[in-house]
Structure 1
């Protein structure tokens, strides 16, 4: 054993011994203090307890009023995107998961994304896409959003799922893997068992190892389904809106709990 490790071990032992000795001494002092002033301790503890709860309730109320003073309505530009592209928002109250769907004559397109990831993006990079792309070598995924895109074939309920990195510019949707499902339920179920099963599924070879023509065809397929920069803008805006909405609901629950 090196002298460095030996010294560290000795010091650690001394420290633990000192702590134990100090603890015994402090415990004795506390016992004596408690014995001589038990009545005072019992009488003031509830006051401190209630005062802290009241203080927290006041701060929560102020924060909730502040948030509600802002415009919490659904942004008009997001409504315009949904109307123009025939997507619909699936409500997921209490969840950080964002969902939108689009129905066609032969398919249902399901798109999932993490709201927390969206709000943690660098806003300057998101608003100044060109500069962000120039910085891509330093921060390759700093302004990309992870999407799970599931194409459901209504004729036989089969599905194909894509894990995608979506950037703020055209042609910046990078497919990570593609998975085929005989039944769409296997792709959409949110149970722990289903999640575990999906982790073990064969997702095909590394996407970049596929034939270039196949890669291009897959990318064109997603673009034809609306997986593009316009969708990125929507997901970014909706993520911020939904996170704020969930934050207000979170404040309301806490405020209700601590309010007298």
Structure 2
């Protein structure tokens, strides 16, 4: 009897709560439907956000990249026009008295000269002058130090090789200034092309007897290495520098446009 009384009291407490929780089925279904709708809306918003945000970021990055590319192309086009104007003053005609045949390969910074003198083959490799530094020195005040700096920077380097039929070669390192040629060093190259690291190469050229220095200058002069030749080469290399710069700019522009 006591046990049954306990069960009846428990049922009387639990049943009204259960009835109240499901007293109105319509409101129950409405609550479930609303929860599903809200869930769907939140899920849709999350999906849309997760889908569009990376796309927006990619679009923004692509837009910034395109603007940078367009800006770069505009600057390149402007620089190309300036370079082409400089090309109009380039040296095209080779003087009739110029003693060498010129081999100029586009895209390379050096040119090669060749000629035959009696039983010798003479080859000369000419490098670019420092044109930019030379232009800067033109704005400096006149003075001993500035004149010396201009003299050095307006020069062009040459390597002169004179080969005999035996295959041996006498090689000169030369620096050509306006109306003046300076011999920096000289050496004999063996016919087999081998080089002995311990071989005696002689003293510095400036340490040689003055008469011997003059004799070597005359030796080069009669083979075509003289101021009239190197003065033209300086003008030619300035023009080549302008042509190569223009071509380099156009190659950059083509790359950016692709």
TM norm structure 1: 0.65
CA offset digits 1:20-57 (Å, max 9, x no partner): xxxxxxxxxxxxxxxxx766433311110122112212
**Which residue of 1 is the match for residue 223 of structure 2?**
225
Matched, 1:122 2:138: no
Aligned equivalent of 1:149, options 143, 153, 160: 160
DSSP-derived class of the 1:161 partner: strand
2:126 aligned with 1:113:
yes
Runs (4 or more) in structure 1 with deviation over 4 Å come to 37-40, 69-74, 123-126, 131-140, 197-202
Q: Judge conservation of contact 1:125–1:132 (CA < 8 Å) in 2.
A: no
Distance 2:163 2:198 in 1: 21
Query: Is the alpha carbon distance of 1:47 and 1:247 closer, same or farther for their aligned partners in structure 2, counting shifts above 3 Å?
Result: same
User: Which residue in 1 is equivalent to 2:49?
Assistant: none
TM-score normalized by structure 2? Answer: 0.65
| In 2: Cα distance, 1:218 partner to 1:149 partner | 12
The root-mean-square deviation of aligned C-alpha atoms, in Å, is 3.3
Larger radius of gyration: 2
Instruction: For residue 141 of structure 1, give the secondary structure of its aligned residue in structure 2.
Output: helix
Partner of 1:48: 64
Q: Per-residue CA shift, 1:2-34, capped at 9, x if unaligned?
A: xxxxxxxxxxxxxxxxxxxxxxxxxxxxxxxxx
The alignment covers a number of residue pairs equal to 203
Change in 2 beyond 3 A, CA 1:241/1:223: same
Which whole-Å CA distance do the structure 2 matches of 1:65 and 1:135 have between them? 32
2:175 maps to 1:175: no
d(CA) in 1 for partners of 2:71, 2:136: 36
Deviation at 1:162, TM superposition (A): 0.6
Separation (CA, whole Å) in 2 of partners of 1:201 and 1:252: 47
Query: Quick one: distance in 1 between partners of 2:100 and 2:200?
Result: 30
Query: Pick from 104, 110, 133: which aligns with 1:91?
Result: 104
2:11 corresponds to: none
Q: Which moved more, 1:216-225 or 1:37-46?
A: 37-46
- Cα distance per residue 1:50-102 (max 9 Å; x no partner): 221122123323433443356548625x511xx31231111232121232222
Q: Secondary structure at the match of 2:108?
A: coil
Are the equivalent residues in 1 in contact too, given 2:117–2:223 (CA < 8 A)?
no
Contact kept, 8 Å, 2:130 with 2:153, in 1: the verdict is: no
Residues 132-180 of structure 1, C-alpha deviations (whole Å, 9 max, x = no match):
9996556663433322111122x222211111222222xx322121110
